[in-house]
A and B are shown apart, each in its own frame.
Chain A
């Protein structure tokens, strides 16, 4: 993950890792998910579904950060992501709720 400045507490946080699910038969090949994925996870497949549309496939699934943009921008309700490091996310959330007071106080 690229940062415009490295946060001081970066080592305490873990990037969420998402898993992409694609409902192939709903896809109409608009490629919005491929174009708008900020991490370049998806690519248009060479295969096509029953209706003849080329659907996306996750070629760099390790890069998914569960930002959910593909799910929201997909006009076909054909793609969604799920968070795959729940424990890490819970810890990060706890830390995030504890951190801001201290962090903002110093700035």
Chain B
């Protein structure tokens, strides 16, 4: 190693480095809300989920709400692991059933900020019914749906969000189905906040997460994230970094766009932005509202 190269070890010994107690072990500022003993996490190199968690932790800090008021609920899948990595109250639930757990927790503890952090296969496929009914009831919960277009953990099977003609393990000749348009699905069921960003838009994603957490009502943030090991490999799109470059070149910010027009075609333009932000009485507001006085 040449003397000019500075890695963390040599930098720590420099006179401008922080005090000794801090220097002995480097502590990431986000470790306050992460279970450090479980890191490094299981996500593949260049996977976008880690970036989403980093933005989520910043969003939690920005809301100014004490961390004991948060609960993170995840289902099964790559993104379902988030509940195990955040140092908050968290549930790792059965497949697709993250929203029912969240509904129960929200109704038992209405003062808590319940965040469902899960993937597209968990929320939209297996938990699809729970998603639309939670949106219909306008429960005051926040959904963060990390959409990587594929079932990552189980081996890259076709998901209901896989774009038309994309190849997966179970669609080697290309997908023939129409994919779900997640913002339109929840917006048509009555969601009060719907936004979509990619894992490249770190600061806008953080802002959207903060707004979604503070929103009274059902809020959903869809985050398009690269899956390097399966989606990119099966479709020969390179690595996660190549997908990040693709997002950079092909994302169009269209705030307030009609959610009908937000379909994602294979390797075509992706519309991102905040699409729905309305005020509406929540489920708890309406309990007993129709009762005779």
Chain A positions near chain B (C-beta within 8 angstroms) = 19, 21-26, 28-32, 35, 45, 47, 51, 53, 57-59, 61, 69, 71-78, 80, 82, 84
Contacts and interface: CB of A to CB of B under 8 A. Distances in A.
B7 A24 contact: yes
Contacts of B286: none
Contact of A26 (B16, B39, B206): B39
A77 B54 contact: yes
A25 B44 CA distance: 15
A47 B7 CA distance: 10
Contacts of A22: 7-8, 26
A77 B206 contact: no
Interface in B121-168: none
Contacts of B181: none
Contact of B29 (A24, A30, A32, A80): A80
B51 A82 contact: no
B112 interface: no
B43 interface: yes
B241 A26 contact: no
Contacts of B48: 75
A75 B18 contact: no
Interface string B205-231: 010000000000000000000000000
A89 B26 CA distance: 24
B241 A32 contact: yes
Given A30-B241, A74-B51, A53 B45 contact: yes
Contact of A75 (B17, B26, B54, B206): B54
Contact of A21 (B26, B45, B54, B203): B26
Given A72-B58, A77-B34, A23 B8 contact: yes
Candidate in A19, A22, A28, A30 with the most chain B CB atoms within 10 angstroms: A30
Range of interface residues on B (Cβ < 8 Å): 35 or more
A37 B164 CA distance: 34
Contacts of A24: 7-8
Given A72-B54, A75-B46, A75-B54, A59 B5 contact: yes
Contacts of A82: 18
A74 B55 CA distance: 10
B66 interface: no
B252 to A, nearest CB: 20
Contacts of B206: 72
A6 to B, nearest CB: 26
Given A75-B47, A77-B31, A25 B7 contact: no
B54 A45 contact: no
Candidate in A71, A72, A78, A80 with the most chain B CB atoms within 10 angstroms: A72
A30 B203 contact: no
A32 B46 contact: yes
Given A47-B1, A72-B54, 10 more contacts: A19-B11, A19-B16, A26-B40, A47-B7, A51-B40, A61-B6, A71-B30, A72-B206, A75-B43, A77-B50
